[in-house]
Copies of this chain bind each other. A is one copy, B any other.
């Protein structure tokens, strides 16, 4: 510990930051523990002292992602000018896509289930917390009479699919050539808006 770079307790967060950096540089698939350690400036054995192994490290990284996702959705809801179910649902959509495009490394990792400890309690709890934001919002829409004749589960699934697909396609870069609007956040706004305006039923209808 001669050239110590990190104070007591600083290494775990430094390693998690290094994961993000490493994925940005080389992609999720070719992420290696040794590269992460290298980027954090420690020996390749060091991560084992704080995370059981590679999947353990990635699972914590992904769990943080779900927490950031919840925060981002919360932020968009707060910024929303209206608090009704429909406006909130659009905000959830914007938050989802915005999180993904601002944190593509996290987002991709969160869905690489084969690289994560899918039984991990904290991971599942965080993921559940994110999903429940959607469910609660759709439920609010139902109470406000915006789901007449529609199945709430189906609407939730469609909303999730829509923003998940948009996020995935935006990150993969296969959209850019095919659409004029170049600002991905604006696409998130427009797509979320389209869903809420056209799929939900009119108030009092």
A residues sitting closer than 8 Å to B (CB atoms) are: 27, 29, 111-115, 127, 131, 150-151, 153-158, 160-169, 172-175, 178-181, 187, 190-191, 194-195, 198-199
Contacts and interface: CB of A to CB of B under 8 A. Distances in A.
A109 to B, nearest CB: 12
A191 B150 CA distance: 11
Contacts of A169: 160-161, 164
Nearest to A27: B114
Pairs of residues from A and B, 7 with the lowest C-beta to C-beta distance, nearest first = A165-B165, A161-B165, A164-B165, A161-B166, A198-B199, A162-B162, A27-B114
Copies of this chain in its oligomeric complex: 2
Contacts of A179: 153, 157
A180 B89 CA distance: 22
A2 to B, nearest CB: 37
A29 B112 contact: yes
A154 B115 contact: no
26 contacts: A111-B168, A111-B174, A113-B173, A113-B174, A127-B174, A153-B178, A153-B180, A154-B190, A154-B191, A157-B166, A157-B175, A157-B178, A157-B179, A157-B187, A157-B191, A158-B162, A161-B163, A161-B165, A162-B162, A164-B168, A164-B169, A165-B165, A168-B168, A194-B199, A195-B199, A198-B198
